[in-house]
Amino acid sequence: MLDAQARVLYVGKAANLSARVSSYSRPTGHSPRIARMIAATASMMFLTTRTETEALLLEQNLIKQLKPRYNVLLRDDKSFPNILVSQAHDFPQIKKHRGAKKEKGAYYGPFASAGAVNRTLNQLQKVFLLRNCSDSTFETRTRPCLLYQIKRCSAPCVGYIDESDYATLVRDAERFLQGKTTNVQAKLAEDMQAASDATEFERAAAIRDRIRALTQVQSAQGINPRGVTEADIIALHIENGQACVQVFFIRANQNWGNRDYYPRLGGTESETEVLQAFVGQFYDNKEPPRQLILSHQIEDPGLMTEALSEKAGRKVELLVPRRGEKFELVTGALRNARESLGRKMAETATQTKLLAGIAEAFDLEGPPARIEVYDNSHIQGAHAVGAMIVAGPDGLMKNQYRKFNIKDEALTPGDDFGMMKEVLTRRFKRLLKEDPDRAEGHWPDLLLIDGGQGQVSAVNEIMAELGVEDVPMVGVAKGIDRDQGKEEFHRMGTRPFALRRNDPVLYFIQRLRDEAHRFAIGTHRAKRTKAISATPLDDVPGVGATRKRALLQHFGSAKAVSRANLSDLKAVEGVSDALAEIIYDFFHERG
């Protein structure tokens, strides 16, 4: 359904299209949300598919892409981290992995968050003593690192454990991640007894410590269902037109964390409708587990089961339990959803008051729905970056944050005015190009600039040049003695003013400024670290990570590689005669 400007209002599917469309033509009997949607609809577009399953998948895909105003929309849809036990090395590394599974190895997950992965990795290091260092670090070590000293690694890098014993540790770790913890504990107990019988008391004590650490891992996981091997537990709670969906990840009979989601509603949707939309969008880019344990039935369970099974390439079950262990699990998830939504609503109420206070303090027409805060970071002009953070009624909108690498080489190093001009010019030129009618919700209602009257005047000139003169802006400057709490606020055409020292609006603005500063510094440090770790070899065509490592190990440094003659380059393992000529020509043509 499209409005008069051809903006998508709603995406839906139907087996009987004429019946579905004709239901919207009735003059009465619609909820307020549907009535508003029908009134705004100017035209309709139809897409036909071969099967209902295809229609369901296409519907959820289009909703995620187009974000129609009148659909239930999953707003936070990040990928989940996994634990990877690499298989590309004689001494496998255990590490966190997010994204496409391209690296050779065994993947275990998903985990609900990076924190859940880190906690599990931390405990696995205590129990199984597997390395987490990179291959390049492993190859260059000459003595064990701190992790060995604190009994978190078996130090295979310096030969303190042989390949077969390390492989045993890897197998034990993988059995634990597969849920076979009883076998692991039994084997460790046998090994401890054998060491004790052989009067190897130090080794026995080390195994005892590993058994204790393994017990701690199991107790820390909280929920460890016996009858549920692989499932996502999904519970929905709706209250006052808002919803929270709580998802618990159960893998290998272990709880691997939980996440809460707050889908956007129109206000009158039923539990079945919301959960149907959530499940479809949630698994659009994720592999579903063998079971989905739901708190409520969905609209088309048979169709959804077929679609998810087709996506996974195996059978996927949708269950709505009424008793037993599964019911207890979903009841716990439902309690979490209810409590999370209560906290979210309290935070939203507070945020609404703060935004109303900002509108009053800065004479805005109404509470801002989108505040953009800008800051720069550099060291004497080097590795300069600009940063933008965004806040609104739901708090910080981190998926809207943006970073800007300063590209203008004509800028004087350290020219904050010039950097701010480049950042805002790029930002608003893009807005003018992509959303000239300001209909997508990406235009700010307020700009906060870190600086005083000079910065505000410079920003005002930039906006005037772009023809954008109706976006309010405020400069936040440190006050007397640069003391936090005495900030002065600068606006065009008015005298600087301050808020009361204990005003909640002042604290809110300070948090926004500090968050922009944190994001800018983090971006700058990442850029600086990347530049420091870069070598001329990164620019040589045909030289990837493996060959770069071989060259550095052979010659000792990138400078030595650049000075090497052709015959020496050909002697490096893994470097062909043709590649040796490319490397030689690259450095000598440069000179």
Per DSSP, the residues of 225-249 read: -SS-SEEEEEEEEEETTEEEEEEEE
pTM for this one? 0.71
Q: What is the pLDDT of residue 591?
A: 39
Q: How confident is the model at residue 293 (pLDDT cuts 50, 70, 90)?
A: very high
Q: Per the structure block, which two tokens stand in for 359? A: 């509108």
Domains of the chain (ranges; CATH) run 17-66 (no CATH), 82-220 (no CATH), 230-343 (3.30.420), 371-531 (3.30.420.340), 536-590 (1.10.150.20)
Q: Which amino acid is at 578?
A: A
Yes or no: say if 446 and 372 are a contact pair by the CB < 8 Å rule: yes
**Does the structure show a pLDDT above 80 at 308?**
yes
Average pLDDT over residues 230-244: 92
Q: How confident is the model at residue 348 (pLDDT cuts 50, 70, 90)?
A: confident
β-bridge mates for residue 250, sequence order: 231, 255
Q: Per the structure block, which two tokens stand in for 245? A: 């969906």
Average pLDDT over residues 488-510: 89
Q: What is the pLDDT of residue 100?
A: 82
Radius of gyration of the chain (CA): 29
Average pLDDT over residues 448-472: 88
**Does the structure show a pLDDT above 60 at 483?**
no
**Does the structure show a pLDDT above 50 at 590?**
no
Q: Cα–Cα distance between 229 and 237 in angstroms, integer? A: 25
What's the pLDDT tens digit per position in 504-533?
Answer: 999 999 999 999 999 988 887 887 776 655
Q: Burial level of 198, CB count in 10 A (0-12/13-18/19+)? A: exposed
Q: How confident is the model at residue 534 (pLDDT cuts 50, 70, 90)?
A: low
Buried b / exposed e across 257-283, counting CB within 10 Å, b at 16+? bbbbbbbebbeebebbbbbbbbbbbbb
More confident residue, 478 or 262: 262
The dihedral sign for the CA sequence 563, 566, 571, 572: positive
**Does the structure show a pLDDT above 70 at 224?**
no
CA 293 to chain centroid:
25
Query: Across the chain, how many H-helices and E-strands are there?
Result: 19, 15
Q: Cα–Cα distance between 330 and 162 in angstroms, integer? A: 46
Per DSSP, the residues of 139-207 read: HH-SS--HHHHTTS---GGGTSS-HHHHHHHHHHHHHHHTT-HHHHHHHHHHHHHHHHHTT-HHHHHHH
β-bridge mates for residue 386, sequence order: 376, 404
Q: Cα–Cα distance between 123 and 146 in angstroms, integer? A: 16
Q: Which 8-state DSSP code applies to residue 264?
A: B
What's the pLDDT tens digit per position in 399-425?
Answer: 899 999 887 766 666 677 778 888 889
Q: Give, to the nearest 10 degrees, the angle between helix 271-282 and helix 301-312.
A: 10
Q: H or E element: which one contains 347?
A: helix 324-361
Closest CA to 386 of 477, 516, 508, 512: 516
Q: Burial level of 466, CB count in 10 A (0-12/13-18/19+)? A: middle
Q: What is the pLDDT of residue 245?
A: 95
Q: What is the pLDDT of residue 414?
A: 66
Residue partners of 150: CB distance under 8 A and separation at least 6: none
Closest CA to 11 of 72, 59, 64: 59
